[in-house]
Amino acid sequence: MSHERRTSVLADHADRLAGTHLRELLKDAARGNQLRHRVGPILLDLSRQKLDAAALEALGAHVEASGWQAARDAMFAGAPINTSEQRAVLHTALRANGSSLPSPAPAEVLKEIDGALRRIDALVHAVGLGDASAFGIAPGITDVVNIGIGGSDLGPRLAVRALAPYHVPGLRSHFLTNVDGQSAYELMQQLDPKRTLVVVVSKTFTTQETLLNGNVMRDWISRAYGGDASAVSRHFLAVSANVAAAEKWGVPAAQVYPMWDFVGGRFSLWSAVGLSLALAVGSYHFHALLKGAALIDDHFRMAPWQENLPVLLSLVEVWNRNVHGRASRAVVPYADLLTDLTSYLQQLEMESLGKQVTARGAAVAQATSPVVWGSVGTNAQHAYFQSLHQGTDVVPLEFIGVVKPAHHLAENHDALLSNLLAQAAALALGKTFDEALAEATLGTEEERRVLAAQRTFPGDRPSTVLLLDALTPETLGALIALYEHKVFMLGHLWDINAFDQWGVELGKSIARQILPALDGSAPDTTAFDSATRALIEVIHQRRQAQGEHER
């Protein structure tokens, strides 16, 4: 069946279901058998998606016709599927140790990864014992600052916060990301330079934000040692695929931990990019995270599409994005510990899937990445849920809940979970005009009807629930790997390269051209467009008005 024919079959199913409210679909309790699946500590509940058995079968036929198993196996085996950069995509090899299946990744890659993991373990062990001098590190470290951006920040940031209950005592973690000097300034106010270990994470070691922040921290530590370079270097580690650049910048080679071209930045938490996390939670928990991810790798490799969580998640995205035209998806974790999940997923999904041409340069046949957004519940309920319930756009939601909290405040936790369940139910079921009218008891008939119209909820709004048994290193690893493989599947189904990110380059190069016009080293702005020129002019004028000496 051609792509067009399959797409029109899916559209026919959507049309057929258009007249059946989710309230009706949910009367069939048996739909849970097909739409609710568990892998280890994660339950995926798709029963509130606007699907039935026949529509799901059609989606299954779509994925089965796509050759997804061969594409998946090629990734695991290290084929150069990132074709625009001629690179393999082997983040799964980083956690192959935890897998119960033999890894098809090249043996030399597995060996290198093993070597890097051993180095990380040894370092973390030494820091834990309070003496990492053999690793070039100063004694008495109390604070670790991870400097990095994008994939060199979001994964470790998410995991360090999510696993706060597992932190080793005596070591605090900080993240320095934005080039806005405010964050560096605040950190320097707060920390003792002689007790701070800075981990500069940059795959390329060319990223402007990271290098600028690195320079600021290096100057700060250098001042504390009166400029003694050998003392300063004892406060720095680097993680990079560009060892030469890290060394040139000032980190001794023995203190540079590896990254590789075969691991994309946004897929790199499992490598030395996770060093800040490993330092925060210790090696045992870091390996547990890898094991959790490997559990999903094995599941992704073995399960048929009907039970394969990443495949099902990708099919639901195809359903909502391509068949129903939903332009965004909200991710709402009901767990403060998962505060950073949404921004992590923004990069993972939108940098991977925000593409408009195929790997062969042709226009894509369908819409690609939706906008991913969201924040933690219940806070989100008191901010934008009004619009999700009664606004004119339908936004599919993803709720993430945790059954067992990491604290003893059971009353809070029951309230939290009841809100999650209530929101998913309210979005699906809604409230009819007649139900709202029956509740309106005051006023004239006309007044009651006006009020009821405003208190009607259309419902029929789709959501997914992911329920974790507990937020442990294993479940966090499994959750992230689940999303990684969903992204892989969508790249495959949408026929795009999910592993490059050319779209971030243009703005970077224009910023490089604008910088000299702002710092005064090349004030000629005639090459810029009129809007950019005007704003540069305003900045200069306002600076003059404020007195340049304040800069």
- 152 touches ligand F6P by CB under 6 A: yes
Task: Name the one range near ligand F6P by CB under 6 A: 53-61, 196-204, 247-255, 534-542.
Answer: 196-204
Is residue 214 close enough to count as binding ligand F6P by CB under 6 A?
A: no
C-alpha to C-alpha distance for 278 and 132, rounded to whole angstroms? 14
Which two structure tokens, joined as six digits, stand for 494? Answer: 């949408």
Position among 161, 203, 287, 299 found at the interface with ligand F6P (CB under 6 A): 203
496/356 Cα distance (integer angstroms)? 8
Q: What is the DSSP string of 447-492?
A: HHHHHHHHT-B-----EEEEEEEE--HHHHHHHHHHHHHHHHHHHH
342 binds ligand F6P (CB under 6 A): no
Which position among 504, 510, 527, 538 is part of the footprint of ligand F6P (CB under 6 A)? 504
12-32 burial, b for 16+ CB within 10 Å, e for fewer? ebbeebeeebbeebeeeeebe
Nearer to ligand F6P, 273 or 471 (CB): 273
CB of 501 to ligand F6P, least distance (A): 5
151 binds ligand F6P (CB under 6 A): yes
Interaction between residue 210 and ligand F6P (CB under 6 A): yes
321 makes contact with ligand F6P (CB under 6 A): no
What's the first-to-final CA gap in the chain, in angstroms? 65
265 binds ligand F6P (CB under 6 A): yes
Q: Of these, 8, 178, 204, 541, which contacts ligand F6P (CB under 6 A)?
A: 204
> Is 13 among the residues that bind ligand F6P (CB under 6 A)?
no
Judged by CB, which is closer to ligand F6P: 45, or 351?
351
CB of 486 to ligand F6P, least distance (A): 18
Nearer to ligand F6P, 356 or 387 (CB): 356
Q: Considering only 67-75, 173-181, 200-208, 376-384, which stretch makes contact with ligand F6P by CB under 6 A?
A: 200-208
The CB-side HSE value for 347 (13 A sphere, CA atoms) comes to 20
The region of 125-133, 149-157, 247-255, 525-533 touching ligand F6P under the rule CB under 6 A is: 149-157
The Cα 233–Cα 255 span in angstroms is: 9
Instruction: Examine the residue annotation and report whether 382 is marked as an active-site residue of this protein.
Output: yes
Q: Which of 10, 35, 75, 149 binds ligand F6P (CB under 6 A)?
A: 149
At 218, list the tokens.
Answer: 């290096």
| Cα(111)–Cα(549) distance, integer angstroms | 55
Is 508 one of the annotated active-site residues of the chain?
Answer: yes
Binding mask 104-143 for ligand F6P (x = CB under 6 A): ----------------------------------------
Distance, CA of 135 to chain centre:
31
Q: Which of 209, 349, 351, 398 is catalytic?
A: 351
From 37, 87, 235, 266, residue interacting with ligand F6P (rule: CB under 6 A): 266
Sole window of 38-46, 65-73, 150-158, 178-186 interacting with ligand F6P (rule: CB under 6 A): 150-158
| Closest CB to ligand F6P among residues 122, 514 | 514
Catalytic site residue 37?
no
Q: In 76-186, at which residue ranges do the beta strands (DSSP E only) sit? A: 143-147, 172-176
Cα 82 from Cα 91, distance rounded (Å): 13
Query: Residues 47, 82, 99, 207: which binds ligand F6P (CB under 6 A)?
Result: 207
Choosing from 382, 407, 408, 549, the catalytic residue is 382
159, 289 contact by CB (below 8 A): yes
What is the token pair recorded at 77? 């085996």
Q: How far apart (Å, rounded) are the C-alpha atoms in residues 348 and 516?
A: 32
Tokens 């950190």 sit at which residue? 187
Counting other chains too, the contacts that 107-116 makes at CB distance below 8 Å and 24 or more residues apart are: 109/78, 109/260, 109/262, 112/258, 112/260, 113/271, 116/257, 116/258, 116/271, 116/272
Residue 55: phi and psi, rounded to 5, are -65, -40
Give the catalytic positions in this structure: 351, 382, 508
Q: Which residues bind ligand F6P (CB under 6 A)?
A: 149-152, 202-204, 207, 210, 265-266, 351, 501, 504
